[in-house]
Chains A and B, each alone.
Chain A
Amino acid sequence: MSGKLNFKLRLWRQKDKVSEGKFQEVEAKNISPDMSFLEMLDEVNNDLMRKGEEPVAFESDCREGICGTCSLVVNGLPHGPEKGTTVCQLFMRKFRDGQTISVEPWRAAAFPVIKDLVTDRDAFDQIIAAGGFVSVNTGGAQDANALPVRKCDADTAMDAAACIGCGACVAACPNASAMLFTAAKISHLGHLPQGQPERERRALRMVAKMDELGFGNCSNHYECEAACPKEISVEHIARMNRDYGLSALLGTERERGNTGAG
């Protein structure tokens, strides 16, 4: 059995949206190498509470890499140093004993910090509400195979649908742009027959919403793709650009000017 590990943590502490934050240095002692990063933080919080201090706030839910709730920048990398891994699935054996680890929240104008390591990612919900859905009339559920989908389209749609909406793409982007997220959603539905009727409207409205919410402009650094825990490709961004350009200039969508509300 491998021995226990110790770390020096620099945790971002911030009281609320308006206060200035700063780093707090905390020791993490006797950490099992098999703990996940979040379990390590749980231990640190237990220690803090035992000492009567306030635990550090951070978000998590599934802790198995599928919900996109966890959102920590570890040593300057969203979700930490591992490729294709959420921070809840990052294990402490990936760090050196005695290493100093800085932990910060996502930082982007559109993702304000609420407290410590927790940010408000409501902007993503707003982008989805602007068009990231298919409208379905109520009624009996359709037969599962009533709409044939080519295997290659199903695969590409699935690659895009792997997006868990965590926001690491925005956090990693030097311009805090939300292009990869938005593109993944547009591409996911755009590859399926159910997504076709609203395809133009979806591209126009979601891009307009994204611009409105104060995300930066993509300048093709591809940090997003590298940081994405689901390794979603920037090809989807190209596809969105194509969809958007064609819909805006040649599209027949009547409400194209009315890109505000969902």
Chain B
Amino acid sequence: MHLRDYLSLVAHEIKLNLTSYLSFILIICIFFSTGISMILLTEKMPEVFKSQVPDEWRYDQSIYFKHASHDDFSTLTEMGLRDVRLEFEKQDKLGGAYSFFHKKRELEKPTQITCVNFATKQFVGVTLVKGNPWASEANSSDNSDPTLNPVWVSEEYRKTNKLAVGDIIKLQGNNNYSFSIAGSYKISNEPFFTYDETEEMPELLLGDDPQMLISFNAGALLLEGAGLSTLCDGTATISDEFDHPAYSAKLLEMGILTYGSTIEALLEQIAFVEYFLLALFIVLNLIGLLLLASFISIAIKKRTPFLGMLKALGTKDYVLAILYLIIMEIILCLALVLAFVFGYLLYLLIAGKIGQFYEIGSLGLNTINLRNILLAVAVPHAFMLLAWALAFQKIRNIDVLRIITNRD
């Protein structure tokens, strides 16, 4: 048959039962539009959860995760924290894994980051030094302040070309300052070392009190700038580390927030809600398919005499099946167009309610992007093909002789 013949036959079939076709389109439109609103919501949920994180956190702040890893980056980025970088991730001596994220508007060279030792008040500061500063001995001009011009000479380093925890480094030309290597890390393949001024108590640092070394390793929170030693008022002890309420409170007070469990919970919630909404979308589409399959099967049954006559006249099964494929496609397209409109309205309604619930106002409009369109169009179509296979079988089973001989 020519295309226009297909179309005119289809038009005739639909016209014959216009009201039932129209009401069916409206019925499955309800399911599709609800599904589409779910899809739209999946995109907004990270934003909802992000809204639960205070604004201060957004830029130039460090955040600390107790059990986060590289995998969480994408989610964090989705949450709008676009410049999140993993600064380092390490195992502390107490057995917990800590990840440190540093987020900056633009990440310039992290030449020097001060780590704070908050565990004991004896220690003023721990500085994380990037690169190989002791190698550029010749270029040093001002050696008085290691934080400004970090050039050191290490006896050990000179001998072995290696540095290890516990090594003492001395500032060149100033024997009053010496530092012990408290920890070594690799960040982006460059060596970083934490060290301590050992001016006053070098022995202590060299291992007399192992607890203190632990505190350097585990307790180093990356922060911009110096002068954070006020944190270390001795309120926290080594064993309770970050989780110490006094410590958290202090950080909060300073606008440096720790989101240990909160972030983890948020990440979990986001994943759960996304999967839940997607599953709901699939289920709604599945119901749409079942309805479509039964609607078409009723339609075919109703038109069996006509279809049987066409078959007797020599129409092949697949031609009749294409007829119903076109009918289904028309139903689906109309239902989807309506569903996009209703689904979007429904989304706005639900998003409004969610916004109220979280007290963040409206979630705003959602861009209908390629992913949403693909999902909303492809999934029902995949299901439609299933329904069509059933319809094809129904058509194949129409017994021409039964119709011709009136044997029913």
> Are A and B part of the same complex?
no
A residues with a Cβ closer than 8 A to B are none
B residues with a Cβ closer than 8 A to A are none
